[in-house]
Amino acid sequence: MQVGRIFAARDVRVVEEPKPVPGEGESLVRVTAVGLCGSDLHWFTEGGIGDATIANPLVLGHEFAGVVEGGPLDGRIVAVDPARPCHHCADCLEGNHNLCVNVQFAGHGSNDGGLREYVAWPTELLFPVPEGMTAIEAALLEPLGVALHAWDLGRAKVGSNIAIVGAGPIGVCLVKLARAAGMGTVVVVEPLEHRRAAALAAGADAVFAPDEDGLESTINAALRHGRVDYVFEITDHHTGAPLAIELAKPGGTVVLAGIPDNDETTFQASVARRKGLTIKVSRRMGDVYPRAIELVSRGIVEVRSLATHVFPMHDVSDAFKQAESRVGLKVVVQPSSD
């Protein structure tokens, strides 16, 4: 089968490897859609993410879906949960599977991900999607799940004002969730014009570039009432967190969900302290796949439009370059055809 492995920064190759054989409790999945995430781009451009680096050639891809071959889910399109928690550590026992210290996460460290024609994956981590939902939509349930987890952390009250810093795929999903949840005014700050347009199309009331003069005052003037109650930051830039702190009202809540390029998040402590902000940091997602499937299948949140570019497996290197260019929203690779 064809496998996309990264050997070093900017060195992604398609290689031939044996088809995997499912073990006890596993199913064989023919992978038909893999979304490239911002964290995948860290691996591609920097050769790692945070303190994790490429020790051996790695198969990236944690946003993936496919068709099960054999077993109890034979023939079903499934979304694949990329995180395999241990279920035994204190965090798992407390229900925080996304914080498991022993987690094996697809496309991270030494754990191969979904950029291959076939994977053998625990059946319990495969989520069948309703008839009519495509594999691309199923793969996009993962970024929607990340947005949903960040949203849960914010605990936003209905009718509140929301600011979202960053309008990549997860930021756009947050806009859709804010609209579905009955928020007040939803504003978005994003440097790229086409992504500001995507945020407007998703339901944002107003969009702004981060370098606008008097940004905080301009945003407050755009609100129909009050100030910004909740801010969700989902960028890859070191300026994202301080901007989120700046926009939140005193007593407000800030959820930091982005992964900055330099692996550092800094902001002026006095500003956050004097505002008495509640600051939360989001990691991946919890057990939200059933809710994400429900939102998409009922038409409450639409995700297909997030996939603006689709590449076949043999063009996987070009797919990463496309994603790096930030033109469009989500780049999807198809290791095998539907």
CB contact at 8 A, 240 and 166: yes
How confident is the model over 136-144, as a mean pLDDT?
97
Query: b/e for 163-184, b at 16 or more Cβ within 10 A?
Result: bbbbbbbbbbbbbbbbbebebb
Model confidence at 127: pLDDT above 90: yes
pLDDT at res. 177: 98
pLDDT of 262 reads 76
161: pLDDT strictly greater than 90: yes
Mean pLDDT for 215-231 is 94
CB 35 within 8 Å of CB 331: yes
What is the DSSP annotation of 44-109?
A: HHHSEETTEE-SS-EE---EEEEEEESSTTTT-EEEE--EE--S-SHHHHTT-GGG-TT-EETTBT
Would you list the domain boundaries of the chain? 2-140+303-334, 145-281
Q: Name residue, tokens 């995430």.
A: 37
**The pLDDT value given to residue 50:** 76
Cα separation, 328 vs 154, in Å, equals 27
Q: What is the mean pLDDT of the chain?
A: 94
The predicted-structure confidence for 71-91, as pLDDT tens digits, reads as follows 999 999 999 999 999 999 999
Range 62-76 average pLDDT = 96
pLDDT at 286 over 90: no
Please give the full DSSP string across 248-284, using - where no structure is assigned.
SPTT-EEEE----TTS-----HHHHHHHT-EEEE--S
pLDDT of residue 110: 85
Instruction: Give the fold, CATH level 3, of 2-140+303-334.
Output: Quinone Oxidoreductase; Chain A, domain 1 (3.90.180)
Segment holding 240, helix H or strand E: helix 240-247
Helix (H, G, I), strand (E, B) or coil at 38: helix
pLDDT of residue 42: 86
Range of weakest confidence among 51-55, 102-106, 330-334: 51-55
Using CA atoms, how far apart are residues 49 and 42, in angstroms rounded to an integer?
A: 6
Q: How far apart are CA 275 and CA 266, in angstroms?
A: 16
Contact 26, 81 (CB under 8 A): no
Query: Among candidates 45, 40, 36, which has minimal Cα distance to 58?
Result: 40
Count of C-beta atoms within a 10 Å radius of residue 233: 31
Cα-Cα end-to-end distance for the chain: 16
Tell me if residue 308 falls in helix, strand or coil: strand
Buried b (16+ CB within 10 A) or exposed e, 93-123: eeeebbbbeebbbbbbbebbbbbbbbbebbb
User: Is the pLDDT confidence value at 216 over 80?
Assistant: yes
For residue range 47-60, what is the model confidence (pLDDT) as tens digits? 888 778 888 899 99
pLDDT of residue 164: 98
> What does the pLDDT look like over 261-270, one tens digit per residue?
777 888 889 9
Same fold, 2-140+303-334 and 145-281: no
Instruction: Provide the pLDDT confidence category of residue 260 given band limits of 50, 70 and 90.
Output: confident
CATH of 145-281, one of 3.10.180.10, 1.10.10.10, 3.10.20.740, 3.40.50.720: 3.40.50.720
| pLDDT score recorded for residue 29 | 98
Phi–psi pair at 334, nearest 5 degrees = -110, 95
Return the pLDDT at 175.
Answer: 98
pLDDT per residue as tens digits for the range 292-306: 999 999 999 999 999
Question: pLDDT tens for residues 4-34?
Answer: 999 998 999 999 999 999 999 999 999 999 9
Does residue 337 carry a pLDDT above 80? no
pLDDT at 109 over 90: no
Amino acid at 79: A
